[in-house]
Structure 1
């Protein structure tokens, strides 16, 4: 498998691109992102409805995660997103705590049924939705520092990133299902 083919499997909807437009010019984009975030748990449930356990262990690419790991990763990642939103809204330019997602994906909770993480995602996304709905233009400009990347991110960028992240991993799950266990 060549690098281009592997990159297409890694990023089926493309890599995240930092939005160029800013609010209010990007008002329609923000609405789309809010809808993507709000609907993610429902779309995830629909994608895996009635999948047997064997299928949940299929990977979306060689050396990639299984469908089950992707779902558990999403609950971990989106939990961190919720904390980042709250820190940024309540503190002055906080420094967030990165986490080692690959190591988290190896912890024992990854063996739990996917319904556990889907329930977590449903709660997190209800909270994210109400917080994102309440953001003012000035709130969207608030930022946090990411020590791993050594840069500041605005809440505007975080909304865009988690809409992309939801769609990115949903595409991985669909890709794994369509591959019929090839990887």
Structure 2
């Protein structure tokens, strides 16, 4: 295998739906589509993970990656964080996004050994609140921005919605790869391969 093939394969494993690449703006239809993807994500995760064995949960999508179990806990953690980020962006002027040490979070005992059912339940409940809050926002509010220091960019709330949606589907792709499945290609509008 050539270096180019190895790099391409690694890229596909790391970014099964493509890299994070926000557009300048999103139409009402695109926003509604992302909200729909958010709303249905917990059910997709439940279906994907139903009846999985401990061996399945210990699988990884590439060498050195997080396990399926860690990914499930991570998605719940970050969905909670994204809900809090949304509320802070809505209620604080000049908000700078709250950052966390994701790799360190993935190593805590709850991320490595806790049953995934609690995180799936948490993911479902937080997503319901996230979607409910988002649907109350008028188009003007959706253009409000905040600063993301690690990406060194200002993001509008529409771009933030893209980031949150990309994140949920990105890790769904990782779980599908770890379980030997083809990653779903149901996104589009810059969210899929």
Aligned pairs for 1:51-62 (under 5 A) are: 51-62=52-63
Asked if 2 retains the 8 angstrom alpha-carbon contact of 1:33 and 1:163, the reply is: yes
Count of residues paired in the alignment: 176
Report the equivalent of 1:30: 31
Report the equivalent of 1:20: 24
Deviations 1:104-162 (A, max 9, x none): 00011111000111111011101101011111111111111222233221110011111
Asked if 1 retains the 8 angstrom alpha-carbon contact of 2:38 and 2:127, the reply is: yes
CA distance in 2, matches of 1:169, 1:146: 21
**Secondary structure of the equivalent of 2:140?**
helix
RMSD: 1.3
Report the equivalent of 1:93: 94
CA distance in 2, matches of 1:144, 1:75: 22
Going from structure 1 to structure 2, the CA distance change for 1:147 and 1:93 (only over 3 Å counts) comes to: same
| TM-score, scaled relative to structure 2 | 0.87
Are residue 9 (structure 1) and residue 24 (structure 2) matched?
no
CA distance in 2, matches of 1:83, 1:76: 11
Over 3 Å off, 4+ runs: none
Report the equivalent of 1:112: 114
| TM-score, scaled relative to structure 1 | 0.92
